Structure 1
Amino acid sequence: MICRLCPRNCGAKRTETVSGGVCAMPALPVAARAMLHRWEEPCLTGEHGAGTVFFSGCNLRCVFCQNAPISQEGAGRPVTVSRLREIFHELIAQGAACLDLVTPTHFTLSILEALGEEPWPVPVVWNSGGYEKPETLRLLEGRVQVYLPDLKYALPGPAEMYSGAADYFDRASAAILEMFRQTGPYRMEGGLLKSGVLIRHLILPGELENTRRCIDWVAETFRPGEVLFSLMSQYTPQPGAEGRLGRHVTRAEYRAAAEYMANCGIADGYTQERTSAREEYTPEFDMRGI
C-alpha cells in the first residue's frame, strides 16, 4: 500500500513485510503486549480491566513518550489478522470491559479486517494520539463505539518542538469533531462507557498555557454531557530529558490546571492523582498475550 492513512501523508510504501513512513511499520500489525490493563479511566476498566492491545509504531514522535520502546524503537511482534482477532476473543474471555486498541491508526485496515462486520460484546475503543484524518476515521464508523483521543497541544510551538507536528491542533480538533459526529453524546451503563468520546490531555511541565488553551477548546466546542475529559498528571521524565521536560509536573501546576478546568465548566470527566506519575504504571512490553 502507498500509505496516506494519517496527516503525515508521507506516501510511504508499506507491505506485509516492508516497513515505511513516519510510523516505520509494515502494513500488517505489529504489537508488543495484550493484557487486562487496570490503569485506564475507571469507565473503561470495569472489574477486570480494559482488554488492551499495545500496537508498535506511531505517527507522532513525542520526545516524552513513555512507550518509546514500542512507539519509536520498533519493539514488537508481527501478528496476522486472524491472530489479532483471536487476541480480541482471548481478552474478552478474560473479562475485559472493552477492547482497547492503543496507537492503532497506521494499522487501520488490518484492524477493521480483524474486527469484521459483526458486533462485539464489549465496546471497541480507538485509543490514539489524536493526530488523525477524518477520512480515515470515517472508515471506522459503526465499528468503533468509543474514541479515546489525546488532545496534546493547542499551540503550534510545543507541538512542533515535542512531537514534530506544528499542525497538531488543526488535525486533532477536526478529528475529534468527526469522532463526536459518529458517536454522539457519551453513554454510560453501570458506570462503564458504552459509546462516546473521552478526550485526554497530559499536562506538560512548564506548558500551562498550552493546557489552558486545550481546555478552552473543549469547553467552547462541547456542551455538558456531550464528551468526557481526562486531565492527566502522569508525565514522567524520560532518559536524557532536559530543560522543562527534565522534571515532573508540580503540585501547583496541576492544581492550577484542575481549577481552570472546573472554572471552564468541564465537570464530566476525570482528574488524576499526581502519584500516577510513576514508571511502574507503564507495562512491560514483553510480547505476552501476543
Structure 2
Amino acid sequence: MPNTKPTQEQIVPRYPDLHAEDILLDRADAANKILSDCTLCPHRCHVDRTVGETGFCRTGSELIVSSFAPHFGEEAPLVGRRGSGTIFFTNCNLRCIFCQNYEISQCGRGFQVQAEDLAEIMLRLQERGCHNINLVSPSHQVPGILRAIDIATGRGLRIPIVYNTGGYDSVDTLRLLDGVIDIYMPDVKYGSNGIAHALSGAPDYVNRMKEALHEMHRQVGDLIIQDGVAERGMIIRHLVIPGGLAGTDEVMQFIAEELSTSSYVNIMPQYRPAWKVSEMTIGFDVLKRRITKAEFDDAIAIAQRYGLFRDLE
C-alpha cells in the first residue's frame, strides 16, 4: 500500500446526491428487507426481526437510542472546535465482557425512536454546530439509520457521517453504506479469533474484521483532515488490553501491510476492569487490572515498527 499522506482537496459529503437520485431510499428499503431473515452482521442469526424476534443483538426492528449530544471526548479530528454530534445506539452485536458502556450495550438502556425522530436528532446536532454525525454502535440498526439519513438529508443535513463500530461488520451491509458514510471509525479489538470468542462472543472476529476494514478503506481511503477537522476516511481504534490479549502485533501488521501505513490509528490506553471482568476464571485474571505504562509503550513501539505514523496516541 502507498506510504503517502492523503492530499488535500475539497471534500463534500456524497450522500445528498444519493438522496436526490432516490438511491438512499432504495438502500434503506434493501436493508429493511434483510430484517425478516436477519444477516445484517456476521452473526447471521436468521431471525425475523420484523415480528419481534431477536438474535444476538437483542434488537427487533425498531430504532433504539440511548443518548445524543455534542461530544468532546472523541479523537481530535472529530471533535474539532464544536464537538462531534454523537448518537449512542442501544445494544450491540458484540458482548465484550469488559465493556465500559455496558448499561447501553448489554443492559439495553435506551428508548425507541422512529426514523423521523432520529432524523430530527441529526438535524438538531447539525444546528448546534457539530462537525459530524457520529453513529455509535450502528451495525445492528442500519436499516433505520439509512431511512433517517434519507429523511434528514431532505431537510438539509449536509455534515459528514461517522460510522463508529466495533469492527464486526458484514461486507454486504457495508456496501449499502457506500457513499453514505464519510468517515469509518472501526475498532480493531483482537488479533486472535480465540481471544475474540472468549472476550466478545465473536469466534470469527478477526476474519470478518479484516474483510470489513478492506471494504471500508475501499470506500473512503485514508483519513483526510482539513483545518483540523476530519472530512473523509478511516480512523482505526485499538484498545490495549492487559497481558497482550489484544494481539497488538498482529493488528498493526494487518493495518500496515493490508490497508495503509498512512492509516490514522488511535492506540488507546484507557482499559479498566468493568462489566463481567470480576467473574473471569483462570486464564484471564490479567483482565482484573489496568494496563501498565510498559504495555502501552510497547504497543506504540509495535505500531512504529510497522511504519505507522499518524496519531498513535
TM-score (norm: length of structure 1): 0.89
Compared CA separation, residues 94 and 270, structure 1 to 2 (3 A): farther
Q: Does 1:248 align with 2:290?
A: yes
Match of residue 265, structure 2, among 219, 225, 229: 229
Find the counterpart in structure 1 of residue 38 from structure 2: 3
CA distance in structure 1 between the partners assigned to 2:43 and 2:188 by the alignment: 17
CA distance in 1, matches of 2:270, 2:305: 22
Provide the aligned C-alpha RMSD in A: 1.5
The equivalences for 1:18-97 within 5 A come to: 18=52, 20-97=54-131
1:148 maps to 2:185: yes
TM-score of the two chains, using structure 2 as the length reference? 0.83
Which structure 1 residue ranges, 4+ long, deviate > 6 Å from structure 2? none
Residue 179 of structure 1 is matched in structure 2 by 216
> Which letter does structure 1 place at the counterpart of 2:163?
W
* Partner secondary structure for residue 213 of structure 1: helix
Is the 8 Å Cα contact of residues 194 and 203 (structure 2) preserved in structure 1? yes
Q: Which amino acid aligns with 1:35?
A: A
Aligned residues: 269
Q: Does the CA contact (< 8 Å) of 1:208 and 1:253 recur in 2?
A: no
State which of 273, 281, 299 in structure 2 corresponds to 1:257: 299
Where do 5+ consecutive residues of structure 1 fail to align? 272-290
The answer to whether the 8 Å contact 2:169/2:209 transfers is yes
For 2:254, the aligned partner's letter is W
Going by fraction, where is helix more abundant, 1 or 2? Answer: 2
* 1:105 aligns with one of 139, 162, 165: 139
Q: Which runs of 5+ in 2 are unaligned?
A: 1-35, 279-284
Aligned partner of 1:195 among 228, 232, 240: 232
Decide which structure has the larger Cα Rg and report it. 2
Tell me the amino acid that sits aligned with residue 177 of structure 2.
L
Q: Residues 239, 83 of structure 1: CA spacing in aligned structure 2 closer, same or farther, 3 A cutoff? A: closer
Aligned to 1:205: 242
Counterpart of 1:284 in structure 2 is none
Give SS of 2:195's match: helix
Equivalent pair of 2:238/2:267 in contact (CA under 8 Å):
yes
Residue identity matched to 1:165: A
| Sequence identity percentage | 37
Q: Which whole-Å deviations, capped at 9, do the CAs of 1:208-250 have from their partners, x for residues lacking one?
A: 671111111111113333x211101111111552411111111
Going from structure 1 to structure 2, the CA distance change for 1:91 and 1:165 (only over 3 Å counts) comes to same
Name the counterpart of 2:8: none
Partner residue of 1:275? none
Q: Provide closer, same or farther for how the CA distance between residues 41 and 209 of structure 1 changes in structure 2, counting only shifts above 3 A.
A: closer
